[in-house]
Amino acid sequence: MPLARNKSSTSLHNAGDQPPSGPLSGPSSIEWRRQRLRQIGSPPAPDTDEAAPLRPTLEARAASYGTLPTSANAKQKSTFRTRHALGTLPSLRIPKPGRYTNPPTPSVASPRSLRGSSYFAAQRPISAYDKPVGGQDSLDAEGAVKTNGIRVWYSSFTSIDWLHDAIKDSARQARLRRHKSKRGRFRRQLDRSVGWLTVTIIGFLTAIIAFMIVRGEQWLFDIKEGYCTAGLWKAKRFCCPVQEDTVLAPRTPFFVTVFDEGSCATWRTWGEVFDPLASSEGGFFEQEAIEYVTYTVIAVLLAVISAVLTLRLTASTSFVTRKDSGVLSSTFANGDDGQKLTDPPAGGAAPRKVLYYAAGSGIPEIKTILSGFVIHGYLGGRTLFTKSVGLALSVASGLSLGKEGPFVHIASCVGNIVSRFFSKYETNEGKRRGILSAACAAGVAVAFGAPIGGVLFSLEEVSYFFPAKVMWRSFFCAMVAAMTLRFLDPFGSGKLVLFQVTYDKDWHAYELVPFLLLGVFGGVYGAWFSKLNYRWTRDVRNATWIKRYPVVEVILVTLVTAMLSFLNPYTRMGGTELVYNLFAECRAGSSNTHSGLCVLNPPTQAIPVIRSILVALLVKGALTIVTFGIKVPAGIFIPTLGVGACAGRILGILIQWAQFSFPNSPAFAMCEGDLDCVIPGLYAMVGAAATLSGVTRTTVSLAVIMFELTDTLTYAVPVMLSVLVAKTIADALEPKGIYDLVIELSQLPYLDAKHDYVWGSLQINDVTDRDVDVVRVDRENTVKSLRDQLQDLVEAGNSDSGFPILRPDGEGMRMVGYIGANELEHALSIVADDPDQEISFHPASAQNHGGPMASSISSLAETGSNILGADPYDFTCYMDQAPLTVQDNSPLELVQQLFTKLGARYVVVTDADGHYQGVIDKKTWLAFLDELEHKSD
């Protein structure tokens, strides 16, 4: 049946909005779909209005996480959330107009008939959209691989369909295997090599970006103190010669200052530059005061620039793609789009939350994305630029934060951008997440010089789905990144490791007791740090005036950090330099005392050193609590390692003092009178590992990272013992690590597959939503009526779900299929010119189930032929004809396994006779688990 073409559609086309080229096309612009859906049932626009602007100010959309908000204009009905009195959680707001992150759909003529071959013209596939993968021979029995209908794009803040993406890739593989010729075998080999080529490029680019960030951060950090007269672009380490130390100089990384400042004529401090002002008659400042003021001003300036870049360039409201819904506002039906973006969503829900994509470490959000959540723009080019530049600025400002965690986010951005150049990943969100897992491994590899630890970190902490193929590619990607970084040599030492440890003594049995104590300290500190940071963010940062002025918060934190930095040399050191010096081994006869940390005569030197380290521990620990979470790129690894290393160094010096004072004690009998038997740097390393384990709750990957980071396996047992004790203590005091708490604060819909729930007497009926709006095939379903149902669904905050399609059967209703909101919107925008035309949904049959419109194998786009005479008003091709179903007497653990192991977006509940009862979508299930967890607490 041909489509009518009225004046309204002509005006839309003339206004510059491109229509889709067919069911298998990518999404058109949001305004085009929005206006098409709005015109349904409206009189055609007069000719005089054809030139009128068609881009009104559009309202933001509330995309909630694990909540079911209601709308004042939507149909008021009892929902799962209202029945169970679940509180409404904050939601994100997503505007529609603005810059689009995807290139526009190629302009095509407005279709006169859906039966014409031009309607199915091929164009650039859009991510997660079903790309045609077959030709005319796709109907052959040998090659027909059936899938459950066509899926269109995934909107922002929705979940992907893991099952459909897996089936779609199976169909693609079947098509490749169907060709037995040499050309077919070559294409199969080429397809296998695409994955390896992709991870190679990702590893290479990640290392280059990491090199630039490290070099830039070092120069910016040193510019707070002075500049190099031999070259303004040179960092302090490259400007001044290293002292003659045949033991340490060849192994010292470039970020460590081991030279005598008095002998460096090419480095001028700001105090020396402004010395005439201080020494002149009537001068108000001493040289030290000038250096302090200059240090503080530059530190604040760097932090403010980083914060402004983060707030201006990466707000979630500024990322809009053609894949977002065009049916977004509660005022859609009456055409009132004047509502401001800052207005709260309808229904009295909490104010909408705005995320800043470049802020923080990014690991919690990466975990959520890899679990199957879509956040358009979070891994894009703009975020990559802002995160990289802002990270160098924020770390250089001297704030108590690190750059290692954000490297995971940066590597994931690189992985996402590179994968979009290959169609097998561009059109399949499930497979793309395998590439992102490999990119995370590369991020850890360049952050710590630990490629093996990076693979284990991706497996243990970040990834949700990690098959053997992903593990191999992650290992290869991390290796490429590590090799590239080795050749670039950003640390000036020719080594991959940051903190080269050259201990030449083994540990002793009596030292297991202090190692155990360090594990207890790490667990207690990790639990309380997580609690305090969570409460500070919830009760102060998000509940006071600071929430409205994030830049002011950055300025205040930077000022406090700068003031406390001059308490002693250890509080002023950069995080990486401090950890290196705390880890270092003191060698007899060496002139390098590692900033006074080498205690040669404990009775006279130990107390002042311990006091200084203790002050640094308290300052770094307190500052990290209030710093982690401000609106700048910030990691948690290095500050946590610094706190643990301080605690370990203090304990090591005390034991060294005890061994020095009582050399003949039975406890030190193994030392046999050797006064250098105790190595304080070893205790610092063990304490750092324990503290980081207490904060992040990682175990195996952290231990391996520490082995690679320190380039030693001698102390594997002490590190493993302290890590396990720290995690055990931390889990007992606070079940969630810092990343899980950030996920909870941000209301990200992360379904933790590792968590065990106690269901008690709860049943499936307690979570099933029986009030879901449905489409009945025995009733008249017109274009206009389906548009109104779609609007009600979106207004209720359920744009991530869809409609069960039912048919009557005796005393109940049976499932025909399920159509998602995005698929229905796409289909309705095509047929919007005929509002009273009836839409049909046909149940699966032997005749059409294997046809091209019922599967991803379609020849329509490639050949331009209409084999089956596809009816544009038959929406069967968009329907999931085999949704996952469970009986209402099934255990809740089965539903949990369907969501976690199979990655289902929704589960249909039926009774024992197969009659439809209701739906459990992923958002409803997350809300149910959240309620269950809070009740158990």
Digit-coded pLDDT (tens) for 152-201: 878 888 888 888 888 888 888 888 888 888 888 899 899 999 999 999 99
Per-residue pLDDT band at 882 (split at 50, 70, 90): confident
What is the crossing angle of helices 30-38 and 7-14, to 10°?
Answer: 160
Instruction: Please tell me the predicted confidence (pLDDT) of residue 229.
Output: 81
Model pLDDT, residue 352: 52
Residue 863 pLDDT greater than 60, yes or no? no
Token pair in block for residue 756: 């065990």
By residue count, the chain amounts to: 937
Confidence of residue 65 (pLDDT cuts 50, 70, 90): very low
Token pair 């509502």 is at which residue? 339
Within its chain, how far is the Cα of 502 from the centroid?
A: 36
Average pLDDT over residues 687-697: 95
Q: Which residues lie closer than 8 Å to 556 by C-beta, 6 or more apart?
A: none
Unique residue bearing structure tokens 């099933």: 768
Question: Are the C-beta atoms of 315 and 582 separated by less than 8 Å?
Answer: no
Helix (H) or strand (E) holding 228: strand 226-228
Secondary structure of residue 38 in the 3-state scheme: helix
The secondary structure element, H or E, covering residue 818 is strand 812-820
Residues 465-475: tens digit of each pLDDT: 888 899 999 99
Average pLDDT for the chain: 78
Residue 138 in this model has a pLDDT that exceeds 50: no
Give the pLDDT score at 19.
57
DSSP β-bridge partners for residue 817: 805
Is the Cβ–Cβ distance between 603 and 658 less than 8 Å? no
Which residues lie below 8 Å from residue 231, measured CB to CB, with a gap of 6+? 239
Distance CA 266, CA 167 (A): 65
Task: Read off the pLDDT of each residue in 496-521 and give the average, rounded to a whole number.
Answer: 82
pLDDT in tens, 14-40: 444 455 555 555 566 777 777 777 777
Q: Which residues does 447 contact at the CB level (< 8 Å), separation at least 6?
A: 210, 403, 404, 405, 407, 408, 637
Q: Indicate whether 336 pLDDT > 50.
A: no
Least confident segment among 214-228, 231-245, 676-690: 231-245
Whether pLDDT at 338 is above 50: no
In this predicted structure, the answer to whether residue 259 has a pLDDT above a threshold of 80 is no
- Residue 13 pLDDT > 80: no
For residue 251, give Cα distances in angstroms to 263, 451, 502, 597, 645. 21, 20, 10, 18, 20
- For position 87, what pLDDT does the model report? 41
Q: How confident is the model at residue 793 (pLDDT cuts 50, 70, 90)?
A: confident
Q: What is the mean pLDDT of residues 636-644?
A: 94
- Reply yes or no on whether the pLDDT at 134 is more than 70: no
**Strand 885-887 and strand 802-809: pairing?**
unpaired
> What is the rounded average pLDDT of the residues 292-303?
91
pLDDT at 660: 84
Q: Give pLDDT, residue 48.
A: 39
How confident is the model at residue 671, as a pLDDT?
Answer: 76
Query: Please, which pLDDT band fits residue 249 given cuts at 50, 70 and 90?
Result: very low
Percent of the chain residues past pLDDT 70, beyond the cut: 74
Strand 267-269 and strand 775-776: the pairing is: unpaired
Predicted model pTM: 0.83
Q: How sure is the predictor about 54, in pLDDT bands with cuts at 50, 70 and 90?
A: very low
Element (H or E) spanning 94, and its range?
A: strand 91-94
What's the rounded Cα separation, in Å, for the pair 743 and 499? 31
Query: Is the model's pLDDT at 857 over the cut of 60?
Result: no
Nearest to 411 by CA among 348, 340, 482: 482
Q: Is the pLDDT at 208 greater than 80, yes or no?
A: yes
How far apart are alpha carbons 612 and 753 in whole angstroms?
A: 44
Higher pLDDT pick, 77 / 157: 157
Q: Which residue has the higher pLDDT, 392 or 715?
A: 392
Nearest one of 685, 660, 643, 683 to 603, comparing CA atoms: 660
pLDDT, residue 141, reads 36
Local confidence band at 129 (pLDDT 50, 70, 90 cut-offs): low
Name the helix (H) or strand (E) containing 302: helix 287-313
pLDDT tens-digit map of 609-629: 999 999 999 999 999 999 999
Query: Taking CA 542 as the corner, what is the angle to CA 540 and CA 543, rounded to the nearest 5 degrees?
Result: 65
- Whether residue 910 has pLDDT greater than 80: yes
| Burial of 912 (C-beta count, 10 Å sphere; 0-12/13-18/19+) | exposed
pLDDT of residue 287 exceeding 60, the answer is yes
List the structure tokens of 600: 């040669």
d(CA 855, CA 140): 13
Question: How many other CB atoms are found less than 10 A from the CB of residue 193?
Answer: 11
Question: Residue 5: what pLDDT?
Answer: 47
d(CA 379, CA 807): 42
CA–CA dist 618, 508 (Å, integer): 30
Predicted pLDDT at 711: 76
The secondary element (H helix, E strand) that includes residue 806 is strand 802-809
Q: Does the structure show a pLDDT above 50 at 732? A: yes
Q: Write phi, then psi, for 809 (nearest 5 degrees).
A: -150, 100
Split at pLDDT 50, 70, 90, the class of 508 is confident
Question: 34 or 54: which carries more pLDDT confidence?
Answer: 34
Residue position matching structure tokens 């590239």: 484
Amino acid at 454: G
Give the C-alpha separation, 596 to 809, whole Å: 84
The Cα-based distances of 821 to 358, 782, 834, 919 in angstroms read 30, 16, 20, 15
Least-confidence region, from 335-349, 565-579, 643-657: 335-349
Using 50, 70 and 90 to split pLDDT, how confident is the model at 288? confident
Nearest to 480 by CA among 512, 446, 436: 446
What percent of the chain shows pLDDT beyond 90? 36
Q: How far apart are CA 568 and CA 573, in angstroms?
A: 9
Least reliable range by pLDDT among 5-9, 207-211, 269-273, 438-442: 5-9
Distances (CA, A) of 335 to 38, 289, 327, 785, 898: 8, 63, 11, 17, 40
pLDDT, mean of residues 108-121: 36
Contact 388, 410 (CB under 8 A): yes
Q: Is pLDDT above 70 for 363? A: yes
C-alpha angle 922/927/929, rounded to 5°?
A: 95
> What digits encode the pLDDT tens for the residues 566-614?
888 888 888 888 988 898 877 665 656 667 788 877 888 889 999 999 9
Which phi and psi (to 5°) does residue 93 adopt? Answer: -115, 135
**Closest of 915, 903, 926, 787 to residue 430, by C-alpha:** 903
Of the candidates 384, 338, 308, 364, the residue with the CA atom closest to the CA atom of residue 101: 384
- Contact predicate 235/219, CB 8 Å: yes
| Cα radius of gyration rounded to whole Å, the chain | 31
Identify the residue with better confidence: 827 or 674.
Answer: 827
Q: Where are the alpha helices (DSSP H) in 224-335?
A: 236-239, 270-273, 275-279, 287-313
Mapping DSSP onto H, E and C, the string for 505-559 reads: CCCCHHHHHHHHHHHHHHHHHHHHHHHHHHHHHHHHHCCCHHHHCHHHHHHHHHH
> pLDDT value at position 510?
85
Higher pLDDT, 115 or 885: 885
Quote the pLDDT of residue 381.
Answer: 93
Residues 71/347, Cβ–Cβ less than 8 Å: yes
**Residue 15, phi then psi, degrees to nearest 5:** -75, -5
Residue 228: pLDDT band (50, 70, 90) is: confident
Q: What single letter denotes the amino acid at residue 239?
A: C
More confident residue, 84 or 401: 401
- What does the pLDDT look like over 83-100, one tens digit per residue? 544 443 333 333 333 333
CB 330 within 8 Å of CB 74: yes
- Write down the pLDDT at residue 175: 85
Residue that is written with structure tokens 């959309």 in the block: 61
What is the Cα–Cα distance from 7 to 13, expressed in whole angstroms? 10
Strand partners, 63: 92
**Residue 258: is its pLDDT beyond 50?**
no
**What is the structure's pLDDT at 312?**
93
Q: Which residues are within 8 A (CB) of 857 and not within 5 positions of it... i.e. 6 or more apart?
A: 132, 133, 134, 138, 143, 144, 145, 147, 171, 175
How large is the average pLDDT for residues 93-122?
A: 37
Q: Which two tokens stand for residue 728?
A: 């055990």
pLDDT of the residue at 120? 33
| Residue (of 127, 97, 633, 554) closest to 383 by Cα position | 633
